[in-house]
Amino acid sequence: MPSLRQTCLTSLLAVLLGIPSIGMAAATISWCSKTGQASLLPGMLRRNEPQLSLPPAPQALIHTEGTLPHQGIFDQSVEAKRDWPRMRDFALIWYYTSDSRYLEALTHYLDAWTALYQPSFNPIDETELDALIDSYAISQQALPLNTERKVSALLRDLAEGYIQRIRQAKTPRPATFVNNWNSHRIKLITLSALALQDQKLLSAARSLYLAQIANNIDADGQTLDYGERDALHYVSYDLEPLVRAALAAKMAGQDWLNLRGDHGGSLQQALEWLRPYAEGKLQHLEFVHTKVKFDLVRREAGLPGYSGYWQPASSRNLYALAARLSPAYRDLALSLGRAPDWIGLCWP
pLDDT reading at 19 higher than 70? no
pLDDT above 70 covers what percent of the chain? 92
191-246 per-position pLDDT tens digit? 999 999 999 999 999 999 999 999 999 999 999 999 999 999 999 999 999 999 99
CB 119, CB 192: distance < 8 Å: no
pLDDT reading at 130 higher than 70? yes
- CA–CA distance, 272 with 268 (Å, rounded to integer): 6
pTM, two decimals, is: 0.91
- CA–CA distance, 233 with 229 (Å, rounded to integer): 9
Q: What is the largest CA-CA distance in the chain?
A: 59
Q: Give the burial string for 14-35 (b: 16+ CB within 10 Å, else e).
A: beeeeebbbbbbbeebebbeee
- Count the residues in the chain: 348
Residue 218, CA distances (Å) to 37, 226, 291, 315, 327 in order: 36, 11, 19, 20, 24
Packing angle, helices 130-139 and 145-167, rounded to 10: 140
Give me the sign of the Cα torsion angle 246, 252, 254, 260: negative
33-82 per-position pLDDT tens digit? 887 778 899 999 999 999 999 999 999 999 999 999 999 999 999 999 99
pLDDT of 28 reads 52
**Upper half-sphere CA count for residue 271 (Cβ side, 13 Å):** 27
Closest CA to 2 of 200, 152, 150: 200
Q: DSSP assignment, residue 66?
A: T
Contacts of 287 (CB under 8 A, 6+ apart): 229, 230, 231, 233, 295, 296, 299, 306, 307
Average pLDDT over residues 244-271: 95
Domains and CATH numbers, the chain: 33-346 (1.50.10.100)
How high does pLDDT run on average in the chain? 92
